[in-house]
Structure 1
Amino acid sequence: MRLIDTHLHLIYPDRLSYPWLANAPAINKPWSVEAYWAEAKPLGIEGALHMEVDVAEADIEGETGFVLGLPGIVGAIAACRPEHPDFPQQLERLLALGEGRIKGLRRILHEVPDEISQPALFSDNLKRLAEHGLTFDLCLRADQLHLGLDLARRVPEVTFVLDHCGNPPISGAGLDPWRAELKSLAALPNLRAKISGIVNHCDAGWNAETLRPYVEHVIACFGWDRIVWGSDHPVVTLTGSLTSWVEAIRQIVGAESPENQAKLFHANAERIYRLA
């Protein structure tokens, strides 16, 4: 079963600035596309969407333009600043870089005050994505999921993709209250869920059974037509590896029909991010 990775981070410190990496020493080094494909291709990954890596604001357009020229990158989800009045101009500049290969935008919300996404300016700016067919990825802590719910309600014309299953605290509080909040999010028809980025919430020594109740709850809430898969590489290496994550997710859904597995691993990504 071939895979499309909807959440690949590439890090090139010689070209771009990543201020947050100073607080993440384990991955504060180059992560090249060549090194990624050396591990990814034998696992059946055939294409990858680059997910913005929270570069310094001045490097947003530089990052987007650069990654679109790298091998195997089928599109980019670019960083943006919808809280700024000049967002419409930023959006036009980003779209000009991609010639149809900008598939969505993301503003990381778990590293900024909750108030950033609440003003009308933020949601009004996001409404502009609809006319271009762009998605908006939601990156929130588990205790912030209400912010995503509010934002998706205010901008029903845009498709939102919840990153990392809503970041359940697997090694902490566990399933609750994350489980009920995820169900509330899934009730909104313009929300999708990305099964990614959960192994870094696990203690060392996790396995497929550690992750199974979280993955299965996401699938039960969103259904097989509203989920995509992503690696979250290289963040996945904090407690595992790209290989161990791919092996685990294949094991978790291995009893499902080939049609459902195809939806998770590539077909939904092709449709939601307009790759086909």
Structure 2
Amino acid sequence: MIIDAHRHYWDPSRLQYGWLAHAPATLQRAFLPPDMAATHDACILVQAAPDERETLFLFDLARQTDDVLGVVGWVDMEADDATQRIAALVEQGQGLLRGIRPMVQDIPDIEWLARPSLDRAFDCLRDHGLVFDALVDNRHLRALSHRLTRHPGLITVVDHAAKPNIADREFAEWASAIARVAQVPDVACKLSGLLTLTGTGADAAAIEPFVAHVFESFGGRRVMWGSDWPVLTTHASYEQWKALAQQLVRRFAPRHEAAVFGATAVATYSLNDCTTASGRTA
């Protein structure tokens, strides 16, 4: 079974997605399960709005869609009652909530992740067995490293390989910072979102050194594939990116295809019960 570890569904008629106002016009519409009817890969749905109501919306979609194995939602990590909010989402999800993703890349304070006021919320994620999805770029990796040292055992996934500046070939600083983060054993990385970082065209060759470094840093068992659909559609189709990713894994992490395209997501997001219940195997 292939698991897409990073898929979005959204509906701007129901909720506010502020970042969509600055996105390509092709993304400024609803993207929902019928749009992916031709694809039978299992997936994890990931939040796209800083709104707990969207997490509940994703729960509803997951209950209606056989291929959704779990949801990475959003909660106000700075709220005085953040721990209660997290507990409430766990209960409302009835097993669907697998992680929480604060939209760090959109927060003006690049040191936000290091704020001590967030300690209780991050401890709560760990205590509930939830994954912290880190939507960060190179500016945030130092603060991310500080955050991880405070919470041993917190399972963390770095989204989109921390969004390196591939278009301008800015490699060295990102490579050093992501390698430091990879030294923390409870951190995994998503092989996702890279084609959309290459500029106006989908430059497959441009992403190769970045992909190679991800595997060099994390190894083949701590990397999972994600589509970042529908953002991906500005540069490639779902099947085009999957085929390219399969080629890259065969090149840079041979014999780890099963891990990257399924087993790592199952282990990281604790999906064994989900795959068994759905009749799927990983």
Superposition TM-score, scaled by structure 1 size? 0.91
Q: Secondary structure at the match of 1:152?
A: helix
1:97 pairs, out of 83, 92, 95, with: 92
Please say if 1:211 is aligned against 2:207.
yes
For 1:241 and 1:123, how far apart are their aligned partners in 2? Answer: 39
Please say if 1:164 is aligned against 2:152.
no
Deviation at 1:114, TM superposition (A): 2.3
Deviation at 1:61, TM superposition (A): 4.3
Q: Secondary structure at the match of 1:114?
A: coil
Q: Is the 8 A contact 2:195 2:204 kept in 1?
A: no
Deviation at 1:217, TM superposition (A): 0.7
Aligned to 2:73: 78
For 1:8 and 1:168, how far apart are their aligned partners in 2? Answer: 20
Deviation at 1:131, TM superposition (A): 2.2
- Residue deviations 1:56-111 (CA, integer Å, cap 9, x gap): x3624433432322311111001112122110121121111211121111101010
Counterpart mapping for 1:114-193 below 5 A:
114-193=110-189
For 2:120 and 2:168, how far apart are their aligned partners in 1? Answer: 36
Aligned to 1:53: 48
Paired AA for residue 63 in structure 2: G
Shift in alpha-carbon separation, 1:6–1:58, aligned structure 2, 3 A: closer
For 1:23 and 1:35, how far apart are their aligned partners in 2? Answer: 22
For 1:115 and 1:148, how far apart are their aligned partners in 2? Answer: 9
For 2:162 and 2:18, how far apart are their aligned partners in 1? Answer: 24
Please say if 1:17 is aligned against 2:16.
yes
Aligned to 1:65: 59
Q: Is the 8 A contact 1:52 1:106 kept in 2?
A: yes
Deviation at 1:207, TM superposition (A): 4.2
Please say if 1:251 is aligned against 2:247.
yes
Deviation at 1:221, TM superposition (A): 0.4
- Residue deviations 1:163-194 (CA, integer Å, cap 9, x gap): 00110100014312111111111111121111
Q: Is the 8 A contact 2:8 2:229 kept in 1?
A: yes
- Residue deviations 1:110-169 (CA, integer Å, cap 9, x gap): 101224322212122111122221110001122221121111112122111000011010
- Residue deviations 1:185-227 (CA, integer Å, cap 9, x gap): 1111121111111111113443433222111110110111211
Unmatched 5+ stretches in structure 2: 273-282
For 1:190 and 1:216, how far apart are their aligned partners in 2? Answer: 20
Paired AA for residue 96 in structure 2: R
- Residue deviations 1:225-258 (CA, integer Å, cap 9, x gap): 2111111011112222212211211111234777
Unmatched 5+ stretches in structure 1: none
- Name which of structure 1's ranges 61-70 and 8-17 shifts more when overlaid on structure 2: 61-70
Q: Is the 8 A contact 2:52 2:73 kept in 1?
A: no
Aligned to 2:228: 232
Q: Is the 8 A contact 1:83 1:116 kept in 2?
A: no
Aligned to 2:29: 29
Give the RMSD, CA atoms, in angstroms: 1.8
Shift in alpha-carbon separation, 1:234–1:145, aligned structure 2, 3 A: same
Shift in alpha-carbon separation, 1:157–1:257, aligned structure 2, 3 A: closer
Paired AA for residue 189 in structure 2: A
For 1:254 and 1:228, how far apart are their aligned partners in 2? Answer: 14
Deviation at 1:34, TM superposition (A): 1.2
Q: Secondary structure at the match of 1:69?
A: helix
Q: Is the 8 A contact 1:208 1:249 kept in 2?
A: no
Superposition TM-score, scaled by structure 2 size? 0.89
